[in-house]
Structure 1
């Protein structure tokens, strides 16, 4: 029996053109099923896009904007209860403004090894990888080291066998839509590694496309600083965060501290300091528990 590809997707319905582009690439997957958590009041319009592309989908209507981690947990629970998933089925965590390359879909279709796979996310205009500057570019497919996972993984780049997702949910107090709006996918991967100890493999030549964003709100840096400082003390896998933290804090505290007279860099600098202070202070914080 051919394994299924469950594409978990949520949207408020405003990115109609982007959803059309995404749907046109989901058709590349064999035996795909979209699990759509619908936050839109225009739910018929959004679902029409799936019908246009003859996609199999289940739509779960929530009718309000909710945090991303909550939406993904709704989808995971729906798969578990309603879709008869098998351990070798695959889970993709999609965004409503990303889309897939044919090479990525072909790789997912033939993948049968029980491993966690991370693929590059690239700009759909300039074809730039989202890997932070100063981080070595991986030029061949390889098993990835624990301390390098944070440099290369984001939720839309992960191919996850269902056996690892079964019964495991995202921390609903992390991620987009929450006070701490970063770190939910890394926290999720950490718990998968602690529970199953799977191989984590980097497939260098299969791409997920996503618009590149540069002008992040300083709150993003506060959230990531909070998340990292808390995990460095409180995590059972500190090695997963240490190397990334060195680069992050050097860039946004030391380097930006030198350029503190620039208003934007000053805002990021103090947001990071605040994140460190509260992340250490709130070791038993409700946000990371």
Structure 2
């Protein structure tokens, strides 16, 4: 049995984009956010009412399922024995798929290959979707190495967080965005899960309505990912889109974990967003709107291709 390619709800519905969300988007929201709720249970109730089908999280799977939502996972693996256990336990919980941060970016090619092989073997063995995330600080940090890895493992499938490539590799360097996108094609056409975040050349997480060309670039990248998903997709197949818009920090005092994704701005005493550059909950809806249009454009492109054939 090959590793799982696409997630599928086993219905007869046409392939679709599913509105999910990463729980980091509502983590530590300031009280002025429209999405602020005092507890995780209240947040999940709000998210379900807003039309999100699943919540993507690090380990909060039981809470998500208890709230009547579908659950998708996030995990990290650094050695070859971990993928099998993740696939086994997450499938037993009734989860839909899991995105993986794989390795630490310092692996040799043979070490990278062993990790990737373990992911594919676990997915095939348990019949459970495992998607390797495009993320800095992991084996996919370098685009060239990632493309080369795809050549060695054509069955690999990805969770795309394109902000790490767009900012980390400065994809629009010298105005070469379109050319660099073509070099990325082997990765884009294998995307089956998505973390929605938009970045610019210098900042890993940028508001949608700031000035710049980066929003249009992300719409193009996402459309290319969706085209790859749609080519060959069958009834019931879906791609999970998860807005993932993270806070500046988690926790307080000595326990503070500084993420620096949201770039803090000077906050006036009465600033309802407490220095965050935008309302992350609202940003999630903006990203869903952009993704929905990109998916519609991808459908039109693939439909035209099929008509020509």
* TM beyond 0.5: no
- Provide TM-score, normalisation by structure 1: 0.26
- Provide TM-score, normalisation by structure 2: 0.25
Q: Which has the higher contact order (CA 8 A, sep 6+)?
A: 2
